[in-house]
Structure 1
């Protein structure tokens, strides 16, 4: 009995000790959120001070941290590049479900954040003025589309036609001088090098990057005035999301978004459908659209990623009355994109993609009918390799585009083929200037060579009886090399950051296919066919940005000021002559033109960035305004943002001065043999957005009210008010 009792006693002590040890182990599961917006923060380093144990918050701000009895009384540190460091007692952390971090005015310098492995492709290019708009700034604020968002920037102007098609211009340039990318794939049409920004659904977007100026080497020769780079989300903080928008002109749309992650795979699909109906004095205007987006991403162990993506947008627009129009457009994009290391090959960025546009337009003005049909398909291949070698960063790349275009213009059928090859090399070297404040001087050099081959095929056999074939050209071939140089000076301490650069170089823009078949004499007998030599641009830019952090305890947390001066000199500048009845304009040339400009902005942050107010100003000196039709040479913006406990308020005020364009007689009512200058008056307006998000268990709900053009400008184009008041309400939830 004694031995048995001893055995029982020993086992009891063992299990009691085991249970005691288990009771002293703690698993903390909580979320990290922004104290102002209450949005989850990804990639926060969470670790115990003095220990080698820690974790990182995931895409929805969630983290898991193991604590034991010995950790009680120790400090747990939360660290993120964009937020002030937070220290929490481990004992208190056990009882916390949410940890709130205060945003910084100046990101921490020299901090590597785990999980932030995506390559920032823009930094591989030479220095340029860049505006990065993160999803947190727009995803619950009721913007209708990407064009609606971009107009809040003082350097950007957005033009919207009656069908809802939106094109963007940067720094006073034209829409065909802006390259639009989606996940690194060029979206611009092979016909006119323009893209409709209303086709981008912001619910699928992680960030929007606006590159200002003509000094990019990485994104191709057509970027005379800038680049808009749309970065889609590939990982999400929900499994299912639904939203509904209702608004003026019986407008509305709904969207359903599905996401699932299984191991290294992440899949996503979304559909959005909507439209509007607007009553006119002599008819009806209706616009219907359907967006589909899908992603499948595989993440490798070495942080490399392979992403397959498709995007399709179906747009139908029609208008009845004296000006009757019917437009149907189907855009499709598919791509395969790899980024990371592949064996001994490091710094790879490889993508292959296919893009298709099928558009049909029927138009009737009085008793005259017009037709415009086009089918545009393009294949793209992008190969890019970056590497550091002996203190110099190198990037070499090859870009190929093959496009086929079928174009039917008023009974005449055209068929074109374009082959593009681009070679780019960029080198960067760093030096320390020996200053306690200025830590880095970087020299940048880029060289690019482009080869373009265009061919017009004989399609006279396909033309309808009675039509005449315009033999505009048989083949066109061009080769051009360009070089750019930039010097970047960067200095910082805990309270101040100064980033300055000067860049200069040359750029080239090859005639688009629509420019090559342009026949302005169809509308005015004194107009001449355009010269088919490429446009040339010589540019110079100086930019300085200063950021000051006044500390998280001050009412004024900090400020940021930026100033840019640039000048562009053009040779053989194409001038667009835009008939009101055509989505496809005609062109001629001016021998020389120039744009010089000053752009400035000042942002002040209050109460640990709960409130921010930004003033933006752009002034351009344009030598030949008819070469840049409907562009304001002076724009001011004020953006006021307030974020507090999940409430978000934004006010956007802007003012643009008069805009000038050349239009044919059918628009102006003057001599039918010539084009005349037409002026749209200066105007200003106000948009507001008010949003609220809140969580109930695993569900997040959101509500937004938006008012646009609240000053109700009465400007009319083709019988329709284009600057009138509009209101929208958006609501939804995600799980």
Structure 2
């Protein structure tokens, strides 16, 4: 008993001595305006080898062996001003607030450690990265709702809620959408519905504008959207509930957990729906969507450079229009597994295998007539990448394989031609990207990059089991269905990037030129070639790839103005581009029969100028962003209903956990040439419009729970423009509540 008492007293005094000698400082590092937690902050004692790093939740714990009053605690992060506090100040605080450094807030640098942009491996060009912190809790409904704030992007929304994206005056099929590196555009018409992506499950969105991408495949004539899902969150569980106009509402649940030290899993589920009445009628539109996603990451190395990841996503859209008894059922599923790391003695490999399934059905009944179209699309993808380094030079090579199948069925009392067909597509792509940094030796022009890329694609299409309702099976009517189609194209691109920096400014200039190719879709193969128009004999149907020759010039300036009391700094972006198209497809439905028809314009072009400026006030609390785009479109039948000018103004205010955003935009009239019953074209003009959005959110932390309250108003200028009895631009309200643990 005495021995036990002696041991207890010994450990008690040992604990007291350890408490006196080892001093602990702990807390959270936050953004001074938004109060968001900041990870990867280096916290250390000045002039002493004592330090630590904040985790994903901004938390840190700094153990100091002995307390000294002259100790200075330093908080250092590449994107924020370095902060120094005395030991006494650090003891009395639990939250430490850092001010952003304007010249280092380029998102490519800031987010590099968390989710390095895949576009960094490609040629330099106009790039925007939108991180989750910029849209979480802001009341956005989906990805299309978020992206429309860009001055070069137009989001088209139909009555079913389907949202497609176009950029720089191009069409929706000219933009390629990736999710976790997997192409989402279907094989039918090369279009993807952005409403099928759950915005609450996104880590960041990368937007590249222009046709000079090589690594992300052909078909991207206008640009690429790469959506990166959240593979690892900084919370255990989160629940979000939103309510809004038209009896709309959605709830979202997310959970993630570290099962073992190196194994992380997460799951996300979302359900949403709405019911909209027709104008002065008893009819209605009803939408419902369901999202599921699951992710797994297993790190094979401590720094995470060697890992295995797997992902599954399932999205279902149901739409019903009681006015014409129209239904839409979309089911989109995606699964992928990837490995990054070494293979034997060879390092810097990336291998991924993916499967995508899109099951779509469209039907309606009107005046005892009916139409029912169903296509089932399976896609398999394989991607292999290897990067070689020689000093500062790098060469990336990749092999990309795609195998897709389309099962098409159509029943209709309107159209009496093709009823069913099965098509398959096999595609092989080889890519090489060479990057050659060159030292300039200049004080203000720090370095230059010369970049070259080459891509080769081979596409083979096959058809079988065609079924026609009539005897119109001649090759003149459906040439794409009666022979094996194969195409091959090579593309070459070059870009030069110059970067400079001074004590108060950072600036970048790039120039890119090159060619691109886009292969005919299965929709084109299921379409009939148009009859020759005597007024335009040069327009001849041609089932061969489109060609694009693009030029891009860009300039970016980030400037700090410490001598100006009102303006802390600003960011300026200027871009000029020109895209020349050869053999441009024009697709349309004949007015009377609804038969899909195509022809090709031998020459078309789009020229544009983009500008954006963002001054920053009040130590980053207030910022204003103004953007403008001017387009010059030569062929309005190939690029119908595009606004040639778009102006945007965004006002951001962040203070003490409050986040406010006001968005104003103006789009000019949209003009399109539409096929008439006599085979010619008639001009139709949609009037331009102006509107505003407002978003307000507040973040609270109570005990171990983080709360987010949000309020949004869409279309403040109540535009009662009616399309088929439905107001598409009317005012809408949304309220949201989120809880994190």
Q: Scaled by the length of structure 2, what TM-score is found?
A: 0.92
| Structure 1 segment 225-236 matched on structure 2, within 5 A | 225-236=222-233
Q: 1:249 aligns with which of 246, 250, 264?
A: 246
Tell me the residue number matched to 1:519. 528
Partner Cα separation in structure 1 for residue 28 and residue 563 of structure 2: 22
Partner Cα separation in structure 1 for residue 11 and residue 525 of structure 2: 88
The one-character-per-residue Cα deviations of 1:196-250 (angstroms, maximum 9, x if unpaired) are 0111111111111110000000100111000001011111111111111111111
Query: Secondary structure, in 3 states, of the residue corresponding to 1:459?
Result: strand
| Structure 1 segment 55-66 matched on structure 2, within 5 A | 55-66=52-63
User: 1:27/1:440 Cα in 2 relative to 1: closer, same or farther (>3 Å)?
Assistant: same
**1:501 pairs with 2:510:** yes
Q: 1:616 aligns with which of 611, 627, 634?
A: 627
| Structure 1 segment 157-556 matched on structure 2, within 5 A | 157-262=154-259, 263-280=261-278, 281=281, 283-301=283-301, 302-303=303-304, 304-321=306-323, 323-410=324-411, 412-460=419-467, 471-473=478-480, 474-519=483-528, 530-551=541-562, 554-556=565-567
Partner Cα separation in structure 2 for residue 294 and residue 437 of structure 1: 47
- Between 1:402-411 and 1:647-656, the stretch displaced more is 402-411
Partner Cα separation in structure 1 for residue 563 and residue 88 of structure 2: 25
Partner Cα separation in structure 2 for residue 561 and residue 595 of structure 1: 23
Deviation at 1:350, TM superposition (A): 1.6
Q: Please report the RMSD computed on the Cα atoms of aligned residues, expressed in angstroms.
A: 2.9
Tell me the residue number matched to 1:668. none
Query: Secondary structure, in 3 states, of the residue corresponding to 2:145?
Result: helix
User: 1:37/1:343 Cα in 2 relative to 1: closer, same or farther (>3 Å)?
Assistant: farther
Tell me the residue number matched to 1:77. 74
**1:703 pairs with 2:689:** no
Tell me the residue number matched to 2:132. 135
Tell me the residue number matched to 1:732. 738
Query: Secondary structure, in 3 states, of the residue corresponding to 1:94?
Result: helix
Query: Secondary structure, in 3 states, of the residue corresponding to 1:713?
Result: coil
Query: Secondary structure, in 3 states, of the residue corresponding to 1:608?
Result: helix
Tell me the residue number matched to 2:571. 560
Partner Cα separation in structure 1 for residue 59 and residue 563 of structure 2: 25
The one-character-per-residue Cα deviations of 1:121-165 (angstroms, maximum 9, x if unpaired) are 211111110111111110110100000000000010000000000
Is the contact between residue 496 and residue 546 of structure 1 (CA under 8 Å) also seen in structure 2? yes
Partner Cα separation in structure 1 for residue 667 and residue 363 of structure 2: 33
The one-character-per-residue Cα deviations of 1:25-44 (angstroms, maximum 9, x if unpaired) are 12333111111111111111
Query: Secondary structure, in 3 states, of the residue corresponding to 1:514?
Result: helix
- Between 1:718-727 and 1:687-696, the stretch displaced more is 718-727
Query: Secondary structure, in 3 states, of the residue corresponding to 2:637?
Result: helix
Tell me the residue number matched to 1:67. 64
**1:88 pairs with 2:85:** yes
The one-character-per-residue Cα deviations of 1:259-298 (angstroms, maximum 9, x if unpaired) are 1123111111111111111111261110011000110111
Deviation at 1:69, TM superposition (A): 1.8
User: 1:270/1:187 Cα in 2 relative to 1: closer, same or farther (>3 Å)?
Assistant: same
The one-character-per-residue Cα deviations of 1:432-469 (angstroms, maximum 9, x if unpaired) are 21211111011000000001001111333xx6799979
User: 1:431/1:410 Cα in 2 relative to 1: closer, same or farther (>3 Å)?
Assistant: same
Is the contact between residue 34 and residue 103 of structure 1 (CA under 8 Å) also seen in structure 2? yes
Is the contact between residue 403 and residue 425 of structure 2 (CA under 8 Å) also seen in structure 1? yes
Query: Secondary structure, in 3 states, of the residue corresponding to 1:421?
Result: strand
Query: Secondary structure, in 3 states, of the residue corresponding to 1:22?
Result: helix
Is the contact between residue 546 and residue 584 of structure 2 (CA under 8 Å) also seen in structure 1? yes
Query: Secondary structure, in 3 states, of the residue corresponding to 1:532?
Result: coil
Partner Cα separation in structure 1 for residue 497 and residue 58 of structure 2: 35
- Between 1:465-474 and 1:89-98, the stretch displaced more is 465-474
The one-character-per-residue Cα deviations of 1:651-671 (angstroms, maximum 9, x if unpaired) are 111111111234456xxxxx4
User: 1:623/1:389 Cα in 2 relative to 1: closer, same or farther (>3 Å)?
Assistant: same
Q: Scaled by the length of structure 1, what TM-score is found?
A: 0.93
Give unpaired runs (5+ residues) of structure 2: 413-418
Give unpaired runs (5+ residues) of structure 1: 666-670
Deviation at 1:730, TM superposition (A): 1.1
User: 1:20/1:482 Cα in 2 relative to 1: closer, same or farther (>3 Å)?
Assistant: same
Partner Cα separation in structure 2 for residue 214 and residue 652 of structure 1: 28
